[in-house]
Structure 1
Amino acid sequence: MTKPIQPSQTNAYYVQAIVSFGIALTAMTIAVVYLPAAGWVRAFLALGLIYLVTSTITLSKVVRDRQELAVVATRVDQARLDKLLTEHDPFRVD
């Protein structure tokens, strides 16, 4: 049996994701701070920005957990099938 290929990410991809997130968050924070509007409007937009960031992090964790659960379930099913196949003897007479 061949092992399934596990997806992997490089360090460059990891760094790129972190840098991209940092730049986007910094740009939006600067835009909200220097927005020519009343203080309550900037505060409302800042609150929306914080909510968006936290919900994005939560969503990414949920997607990751669901993917890991699917991989674990697949491994368990594969282990059960392997056990059944190794225990099965087509030439055995009962």
Structure 2
Amino acid sequence: MTEPNSKARNTTAFYIQSVIAFGVSLFGTLAGIYYLPLDPWPKGFLVMSMLFLVTSSFTLAKVVRDQQEEAMLKEARMQRLLSEHEPFSHAG
């Protein structure tokens, strides 16, 4: 019988690197849009599109994570069911 793996944890350094990378990329994109030689309306459209892309990325990541966790739970339930069911234990 195999037991489901414990949930892997990220290191603090990886978490900090991810947060910094997100902040730098968000700031860089906003600064780039700000300094574009465009009128305010096209800049506003680009900012709205970028923010929608960011929120959609978070939503997609959450949905993928939830599906993976659900698959792991189903696998753990099946392993438990198979380990509890022994077809030859009641035979004579």
RMSD of the TM alignment (CA)?
1.8
Correspondences of 1:21-36 after superposition (within 5 Å): 21-36=22-37
Residue 89 of structure 2 is aligned to residue 71 of structure 1: no
TM normalised by structure 2 equals 0.86
Supply the distance in 2 between the matched residues of 1:72 and 1:8 (Cα, whole angstroms).
18
What SS does the aligned partner of 1:35 have?
A: coil
1:8 partner letter: R
- Aligned residue runs from structure 1 range 1-80, under 5 A: 1-6=1-6, 7-80=8-81
Per the alignment, do residues 76 and 2 of structure 1 end up closer, same or farther by CA in structure 2, a change over 3 Å counting?
closer
Q: Secondary structure at the match of 1:23?
A: helix
TM-score (norm 1): 0.84
Give the length in aligned residue pairs: 91
- In the aligned structure 2, how far is the partner of 1:8 from the partner of 1:2? 20
In 2, Cα distance between equivalents of 1:88 and 1:18: 54
Higher relative contact order (CA 8 A, sep 6+): 2
